[in-house]
């Protein structure tokens, strides 16, 4: 019998968008001339297919009879990682760890392997990038390893998946997905077609054995994992490891999680002997904060279940151009500056503005608004904002300060770190349910509008 011809599709090399025909511009990411032809995802290599244990659930189950229960989870021994995973590794799950090259993905996973193998789990670490010697050199910085950790340096997808099926480890690491190569996918290593093929093979392996598989994915210059859309859809969990190039802080962020929340972050510091967990990120984020300098304001953001204090810095100075510069990662800054201009009558159009959160953390919470407005005003007036005051709150278009969620936690965090005053939305302060003793002597101030800020700067 003739071998069935493999179905070919076109997909975008940048974002993985799939289409039955060639397109000049990708509807997904709007990149031009990025479509390439490749076999459809899910075409598992014949030799591998024969070895995969068959699926058992052939008859549909009645949902009301399905036993839910908690998934079985393995604690990694790294609290910050467990938190982002939603309480540990779920058996048979496929987890993508993305990030810039050199950010510390291999280091984090090797550290996890060290702890897990020490607990008696059988671990297989597959590297397509480094030799066993190089892995050993890195490992020596992290401490001693138990005999339960196996390494394999291989890039051939067939060999890798067969080794996983034969070795039957509890957890396998693929470092990195871009180095895996299968002839069936018919493209260069690292291309979106190859990455998709490899990911679909690992997904099947993970579910059928079962084995939990971590795949490392390097991020391209656009800040996305090669073929990210399809990759993100295919895996159970997506974690991104990010940080400021120069700084030693690293943030592990959950972007997708079929087994837990996605808003948690893990905070680490890169040290000479591997990544250290940062269990009190607020203290860490405020290290080196200038005292009583204009443009520096401490605010409180919620990252999942954790409040984190962070310093917002603004530099506002007269512009030399017709178009004032707005240099910031925060989309809301333009809007907030318009509100300041209109409501407070401050001529923002004549000024350049640079806004930053010190420490390289990306925050996208509206509760940051008040801190940004205060920092802008403080820099504009060249008047310091009291460095023992924290402020948080969402700013509306009429300059009103709107309530935010979880105000208690934010207030408590500020009190714990010894702040003397907390400026917050009036609506929050009226309903606050905190014992006087927990405030540590911190004063609370409920503000209704940004006019009131003018009095404290
Ligand atoms: P690595 O884990 O190789 O990054 P990735 O796998 O994401 O590409 O991290 C490499 C960087 O981390 C490298 O610049 C060296 C540094 N590093 C330390 O500072 N301390 C350590 O203990 C280790 C192992 C690496
Ligand atoms: Mg690496």
- Residue 196 Cβ inside 6 Å of ligand 1? The answer reads no
Question: Is the model's pLDDT at 217 over the cut of 50?
Answer: yes
Average pLDDT score over residue span 337-342? 94
Chain centre to alpha carbon of residue 340: 32
**Ligand 1 atom 14, closest CA:** 102
Q: Which residue has the higher pLDDT, 33 or 330?
A: 33
Tell me the CA–centroid distance for residue 216 and ligand 2, in Å.
8
Question: Is the model's pLDDT at 51 over the cut of 70?
Answer: no
- Residue 270 Cβ inside 6 Å of ligand 1? The answer reads yes
Tell me which of 2-11, 161-170, 189-198, 306-315 is least confident.
2-11
Q: Which residue has the higher pLDDT, 237 or 364?
A: 237
At residue 82 the predicted structure's pLDDT band, cuts being 50, 70 and 90, is very high
Instruction: Give me the residue label for tokens 């390439």.
Output: 36
Average pLDDT score over residue span 231-252? 85
Question: Is the model's pLDDT at 413 over the cut of 50?
Answer: yes
Look at strands 149-153 and 73-74 and give their pairing.
unpaired
- Report yes or no: 348 and 336 within 8 Å, Cβ to Cβ: no
Average pLDDT score over residue span 242-251? 79
Tell me which of 57-66, 73-82, 133-142, 218-227 is least confident.
218-227
- Report yes or no: 132 and 87 within 8 Å, Cβ to Cβ: no
Question: Is the model's pLDDT at 423 over the cut of 90?
Answer: yes
- Residue 106 Cβ inside 6 Å of ligand 1? The answer reads yes
Positive/negative CA dihedral, 72, 77, 81, 82: positive
Q: Where are the alpha helices (DSSP H) in 69-167?
A: 79-85, 105-118, 132-142, 157-167
For the CA of 270, the nearest ligand: 1
For the CA of 128, the nearest ligand: 2
Residues with beta carbon < 5 A to ion ligand 2? 106
Cα pseudo-dihedral 128, 129, 132, 137, rounded to 10: -150
**Ligand 1 atom 12, closest CA:** 104
Judge if pTM exceeds 0.85.
Answer: no
Query: Per DSSP, what are the bridge partners of residue 309?
Result: 300
Mutate to test the pocket of ligand 1, among 113, 270, 276 (most ligand atoms within 8 A of CB): 270
Cα–Cα distance measured from residue 114 to residue 377, given in angstroms and rounded to the nearest whole number: 49
Average pLDDT score over residue span 398-417? 94
Average pLDDT score over residue span 85-112? 92
H/E stretch holding 447: strand 443-447
Q: Where are the alpha helices (DSSP H) in 43-89?
A: 46-49, 79-85
Q: Closest ligand 1 atom to the C-alpha of 141?
A: 22
At residue 124 the predicted structure's pLDDT band, cuts being 50, 70 and 90, is very high
DSSP one-letter code for 169: -
Question: How high is the pLDDT of residue 1?
Answer: 42
Question: How high is the pLDDT of residue 48?
Answer: 55
Tell me the CA–centroid distance for residue 328 and ligand 2, in Å.
30
Tell me the CA–centroid distance for residue 190 and ligand 1, in Å.
21
- Report yes or no: 392 and 371 within 8 Å, Cβ to Cβ: yes
Tell me the CA–centroid distance for residue 103 and ligand 1, in Å.
7
DSSP one-letter code for 55: P
Question: CA–CA distance from 169 to each of 122, 175, 215, 243, 245 (Å)?
Answer: 5, 16, 15, 31, 34
Question: Is the model's pLDDT at 57 over the cut of 60?
Answer: no
Question: How high is the pLDDT of residue 102?
Answer: 87
Question: Is the model's pLDDT at 173 over the cut of 80?
Answer: yes
Cα–Cα distance measured from residue 241 to residue 217, given in angstroms and rounded to the nearest whole number: 10
Instruction: Kindly report the average pLDDT of the chain as a whole number.
Output: 87
Cβ-Cβ contacts under 8 Å for 274 (sequence gap 6 or more) = 107, 111, 141, 142, 143
How many CB atoms sit inside 10 A of residue 271's CB? 10
* Bond into 223 cis (ω within 30): no
Tell me the CA–centroid distance for residue 84 and ligand 2, in Å.
20
Q: Give the E-state strand segments of 130-234 in sequence order.
A: 149-153, 171-175, 212-218
What is the per-residue pLDDT across 4-17, written as a single tens digit (0 to 9) for each?
A: 555 677 877 777 77
Chain centre to alpha carbon of residue 319: 35
Average pLDDT score over residue span 327-351? 89
Cβ-Cβ contacts under 8 Å for 162 (sequence gap 6 or more) = 47, 48, 51
At residue 221 the predicted structure's pLDDT band, cuts being 50, 70 and 90, is low
Tell me the CA–centroid distance for residue 221 and ligand 2, in Å.
17
Average pLDDT score over residue span 274-283? 90
Question: Is the model's pLDDT at 23 over the cut of 60?
Answer: yes
Question: How high is the pLDDT of residue 362?
Answer: 81
Cα–Cα distance measured from residue 376 to residue 369, given in angstroms and rounded to the nearest whole number: 11
Q: Which of 129, 220, 107, 117 has its CA nearest to residue 172?
A: 117
What's the start-to-end Cα distance of the chain, in Å?
A: 82
Cβ-Cβ contacts under 8 Å for 304 (sequence gap 6 or more) = 83, 261, 263, 264, 265
Question: How high is the pLDDT of residue 50?
Answer: 53
Question: How high is the pLDDT of residue 220?
Answer: 66
- Report yes or no: 153 and 163 within 8 Å, Cβ to Cβ: no
What is the per-residue pLDDT across 388-402, written as a single tens digit (0 to 9) for each?
A: 999 999 999 999 999
Give me the percent of the chain exceeding a pLDDT of 70: 90
Question: How high is the pLDDT of residue 331?
Answer: 79
Question: Is the model's pLDDT at 114 over the cut of 50?
Answer: yes
- Residue 98 Cβ inside 6 Å of ligand 1? The answer reads no
What is the per-residue pLDDT across 366-376, written as a single tens digit (0 to 9) for each?
A: 999 999 999 99
**Ligand 1 atom 18, closest CA:** 272
- Residue 273 Cβ inside 6 Å of ligand 1? The answer reads yes
Question: How high is the pLDDT of residue 280?
Answer: 87
Question: How high is the pLDDT of residue 448?
Answer: 96
Question: Is the model's pLDDT at 299 over the cut of 50?
Answer: yes
Mutate to test the pocket of ligand 1, among 98, 104, 134, 178 (most ligand atoms within 8 A of CB): 104
Question: Is the model's pLDDT at 123 over the cut of 80?
Answer: yes
Q: Which of 357, 264, 278 has its CA nearest to residue 312?
A: 357
Cα–Cα distance measured from residue 267 to residue 366, given in angstroms and rounded to the nearest whole number: 21
Q: What are 176's two structure tokens? A: 């990195």
Tell me which of 9-23, 149-163, 206-220, 224-238 is least confident.
224-238
Q: Closest ligand 1 atom to the C-alpha of 274?
A: 22
């Amino acid at each position: 019998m003739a071998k069935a011809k493999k179905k070919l599709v076109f997909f975008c090399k940048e974002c993985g968008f799939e289409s039955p025909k060639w397109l000049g511009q990708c509807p997904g990411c709007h990149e031009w001339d990025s479509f390439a032809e490749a076999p459809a995802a899910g075409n598992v290599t014949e030799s591998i297919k024969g070895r995969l244990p068959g699926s058992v659930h052939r008859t549909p189950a009645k949902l009301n009879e399905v036993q839910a229960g908690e998934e079985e989870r393995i604690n990694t021994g790294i609290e910050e990682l467990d938190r982002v995973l939603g309480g540990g590794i779920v058996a048979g799950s496929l987890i993508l760890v993305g990030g810039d090259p050199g950010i510390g993905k291999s280091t984090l996973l090797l550290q996890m392997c060290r702890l897990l193998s020490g607990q008696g789990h059988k671990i297989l670490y597959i590297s397509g990038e480094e030799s066993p010697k190089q892995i050993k050199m890195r490992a020596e910085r992290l401490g001693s390893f138990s005999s339960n950790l196996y390494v394999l340096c291989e890039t051939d997808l067939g060999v890798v998946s067969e080794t996983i099926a034969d070795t039957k480890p509890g957890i396998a690491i693929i470092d990195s997905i871009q180095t895996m190569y299968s002839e069936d996918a018919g493209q260069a290593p690292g291309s979106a077609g190859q990455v998709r093929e490899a990911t679909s093979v690992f997904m099947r392996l993970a579910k059928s054995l079962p084995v939990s598989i971590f795949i490392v994915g390097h991020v391209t210059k656009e800040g996305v994992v090669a073929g990210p859309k399809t990759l993100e859809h295919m895996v159970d969990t997506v974690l991104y490891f990010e940080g400021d190039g120069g700084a030693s802080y690293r943030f592990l962020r959950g972007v997708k999680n079929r087994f837990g929340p996605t808003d948690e972050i893990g905070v680490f510091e890169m040290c000479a002997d591997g990544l250290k967990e940062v269990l009190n990120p607020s203290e860490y984020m405020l290290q080196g904060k200038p005292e009583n300098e204009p443009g520096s304001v401490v605010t409180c953001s919620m990252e999942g279940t954790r409040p984190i204090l962070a310093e917002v810095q603004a530099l506002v100075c007269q512009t030399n151009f017709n178009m004032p510069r707005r240099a910031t990662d925060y989309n809301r800054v333009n809007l907030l500056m318009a509100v300041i201009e209109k409501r407070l009558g401050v001529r923002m159009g004549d000024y350049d503005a640079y806004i930053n959160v010190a420490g390289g953390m990306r925050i996208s919470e509206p509760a940051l608004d008040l801190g940004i407005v205060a920092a802008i005003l403080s820099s504009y007036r060249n008047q310091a904002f009291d460095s023992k005051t924290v402020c948080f709150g969402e700013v509306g278009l009429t300059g009103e300060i709107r309530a935010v969620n979880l105000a208690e936690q934010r207030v408590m965090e500020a009190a714990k770190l010894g702040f003397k005053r907390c400026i917050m939305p009036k609506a929050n302060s009226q309903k606050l349910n905190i014992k006087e003793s927990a405030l540590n002597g911190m004063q609370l101030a409920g503000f209704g509008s940004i006019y009131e800020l003018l009095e404290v700067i």
